[in-house]
A and B are shown apart, each in its own frame.
Chain A
């Protein structure tokens, strides 16, 4: 009887592929690594643009209204666009089926002073934690556990895929760690502190940012300060995200001869970055 029931339900179950909405392309890649084709993924933000600024298009309300679960970066990265979209989507499933990845890793650079006199800071710490390649398996595991709870029938598949992914990733990690060993102590500046976790992992010293304070546009006074800093400290690279204007960076290059590297922060942030592996391969190779 039970078998018959299962057989009768089978076609419906087969079609009931859960749809997972995710905020950024890197989360889409994590979900696909764990779930393969067992789920549909809908991604809200584009990889080549600033993850803090996403236009709250009404089409994103439609995406959130239809999905079965949501996986977000968290740590306030989505605070500028996601709350009103969620409110308008009126999808009660998401009240209980949302995974906040920032709760799964240790955040760094939690501000000591929570005051906007120091700019638009994230109070939980730096939210760009996926750029430490050692965090990727932790995040993949969280996604696996989340999907297994959501879709218990496929949990064996999710667990198997995760184990395969984790051992593959361990291999890549030793490769990247070996290549980055010589970069310890390298001095860089950034536009915004997007690469804090990558730098932290490999002992790269990020001495300052082109923006004088988080969320503020470059100022000539601060740029003059950077000129001195680059000369006095022997800063070797400007590790620049792809979405801010490189105008000030180019000026610094012209004045000091410092090397400018356009560093990808997510999948599709540069044309060649089509996977998580390609993302970290590129990051590791970028600092020659």
Chain B
């Protein structure tokens, strides 16, 4: 009989007697895309007063920035390299390196405490915020090949991915209840920023003292037999700095943003392999500050007090038939788009919708092929709505020891 009586829980479960080698995994995400508009047209389209550059490539702050599934034809979206291990009895270290075709970044690098106990968990480094439901999950774990419109429009396609600290507490109750607080640097491309705003050598806003962003949330869950209900309320607040002086219509913004989120997931497990999952999130953005407009020589054309109150929702139902087949539908809408400039309310479209359907086949737990169709009515070319249909065939393949996912 073998010895080892008491062992560290995490180490035991992660198994491996050939210890000290971290769990290492690599994920490939590639796609074939066919769109009803050309790549050039796609990159000019915008969700009016909400976001631009959601489709295609655009230059931003000196480096080229591509959304996933950016171009017609073949796309190599990314390779995600994940390394994870217990460092010592006190800390676990997780790293996620994100490689796009010509670029790389540390997407996540964080420690987690193993010893605080009593339901208290501390995380520090760079990580995906636990704001809302989808934000913390990696792209390859989503049920669709693209990010929900409202997330991408408000937060950019990395969502809230920040340097900072996270503290979470799980209550000692008969049901699941967790509260969390995050103190973050505040460098989000869609809504937050703290650095000074300078365009063509002229300074338009001072830098804010960082960390400049805070996130808080409460999440609860309850089981009704084989149905799990999981819901949460989230709040993010911070200073905003946006430099869009590279755009066709150069502008910049300085101010503050508050972001409110509500999420609800209902999962009904039919048997070991089959389930139905209904997942919805609502995001509300309240942005206030000063907008600067520039001429073609990047000289100030004018400035105005700007306030945006915008809200959007996505709701999706996924049916997992077995370990091979799953399918789903998604409805999304940015339904509130209230923009006030110098106390004057601007008329902006508020029925910015997108409809998606997907069917996926999992060859094994490690390889998946997904076909998705989007009918997008959220995009405008100048003031004219431009419906875009997209077909995306997405391939995900994982090698190595990849950790299990949370609920």
Q: Which residues of A contact B (CB under 8 A)?
A: 49-50, 53, 55-59, 61-62, 65-66, 70, 72, 74-76, 78-100, 103-105, 116, 119-120, 123-124, 138, 145-146, 149, 215-217, 243, 245
Contacts and interface: CB of A to CB of B under 8 A. Distances in A.
B176 A59 contact: yes
A78 B13 contact: yes
Interface of B: 1-10, 12-17, 89, 92, 112-121, 168, 170, 172-176, 178, 219, 221-223, 228, 230, 267, 269, 271-273, 275, 322-324, 364-366, 399, 403-407
Given A81-B404, A87-B10, 11 more contacts: A53-B323, A62-B176, A78-B13, A79-B15, A83-B10, A84-B403, A86-B13, A89-B119, A92-B117, A100-B7, A120-B364
A278 B401 CA distance: 37
Contacts of A95: 8-10, 89, 114-115
B272 A90 contact: no
B9 A86 contact: yes
A85 B92 CA distance: 15
Contacts of B173: 62
Contacts of B364: 116, 119-120, 215-216
B406 A84 contact: yes
A116 B366 contact: yes
Contact of B228 (A57, A72, A99, A119): A57
A146 B89 contact: no
A91 to B, nearest CB: 6
Contacts, number: 157
B388 to A, nearest CB: 36
A250 B277 CA distance: 30
B5 A145 contact: yes
A74 to B, nearest CB: 6
Given A84-B404, A91-B117, A98-B8, A72 B13 contact: yes
A254 B144 CA distance: 40
Given A49-B272, A56-B405, A91-B117, A123 B15 contact: yes
B2 to A, nearest CB: 5
Contact of B15 (A76, A96, A116): A76
The 3 tightest CB contacts between A and B, nearest first, are: A92-B117, A58-B221, A50-B272
Contacts of A216: 364
Contact of B114 (A75, A92, A100): A92
Name, among A90, A93, A120, the residue most crowded by chain B CB atoms within 10 Å (CB to CB): A90
Contact of B407 (A58, A72, A100, A138): A58
A97 B7 CA distance: 7
B365 A98 contact: no
Contacts of B405: 56, 84
Given A50-B273, A83-B13, A55 B112 contact: no
Contact of B116 (A78, A92, A116): A92
A87 B94 CA distance: 12
A58 B9 contact: no
Nearest to A241: B272
B323 A97 contact: no
29 contacts: A57-B221, A57-B223, A57-B228, A58-B176, A58-B219, A58-B230, A58-B407, A59-B221, A62-B174, A70-B9, A75-B15, A76-B15, A79-B14, A83-B10, A83-B404, A84-B403, A87-B10, A87-B121, A89-B119, A90-B116, A92-B117, A97-B6, A98-B9, A104-B1, A104-B2, A120-B365, A124-B17, A217-B322, A217-B324
A129 B174 CA distance: 33
Nearest to A80: B404
A61 B168 CA distance: 13
A95 B12 CA distance: 10
Contact of A53 (B92, B116, B273): B273
Given A49-B272, A216-B364, A61 B170 contact: yes
A217 B230 CA distance: 31
A245 B322 CA distance: 10
Contacts of B118: 90-92
B303 to A, nearest CB: 46
A135 to B, nearest CB: 11
Contacts of B404: 56, 79-84
Contact of B7 (A55, A98, A120, A123): A98
A174 B284 CA distance: 69
B194 to A, nearest CB: 30
B367 to A, nearest CB: 10
Nearest to B265: A58
Contacts of B172: 65-66
Contacts of A100: 4, 7, 12
B117 A49 contact: no
A66 B2 CA distance: 29
